[in-house]
Amino acid sequence: MEFSREMLELYAVTDRRWLRGKSLGSQVRQALSGGATMVQLREKELHGDGLLEAAREIREICHSFRVPFLIDDDVELARKVDADGVHVGQEDMEAARARAVLGPGKILGVSARTLEQARAAEAAGADYLGVGAVFPTGTKDDAKSVSLDSLREICGSVIIPVVAIGGIGKKNLLQLSGSGIAGVAVVSAIFAQEDIEGETRYLKELVGKMMGSGK
DSSP bridge pairs for 39: 12, 69
Q: Which range of residues forms the domain containing residue 65?
A: 5-213
180 and 164 Cβ atoms separated by less than 8 Å = no
Catalytic residue (choose from 140, 170, 201, 204): 140
pLDDT for the residue 185 = 98
| Closest by CA position to 103, among listed 125, 122, 130, 129 | 125
Tell me how far apart the alpha carbons of residues 41 and 27 are, in angstroms, rounded to a whole number: 12
- Mean of pLDDT over the chain: 95
- Residues with Cβ within 8 Å of 11's Cβ and at least 6 positions away in sequence, in order, are 36, 37, 38, 39, 40, 163, 165, 183, 184, 185, 186
> What is the CATH classification number for the domain harbouring 88?
3.20.20.70
- Does residue 17 carry a catalytic annotation? no
- Which tops the pLDDT comparison, 141 or 104? 104
- Does residue 29 carry a catalytic annotation? no
Tell me how far apart the alpha carbons of residues 5 and 163 are, in angstroms, rounded to a whole number: 10
For residue 119, which amino acid is it?
Answer: R
Q: Number of folded domains in the chain?
A: 1
pLDDT for the residue 144 = 79
Catalytic residue (choose from 59, 99, 111, 179): 111
- Residues with Cβ within 8 Å of 120's Cβ and at least 6 positions away in sequence, in order, are 95
pLDDT digits (tens, 9 = 90+) for 167-192: 999 999 999 999 999 999 999 999 99
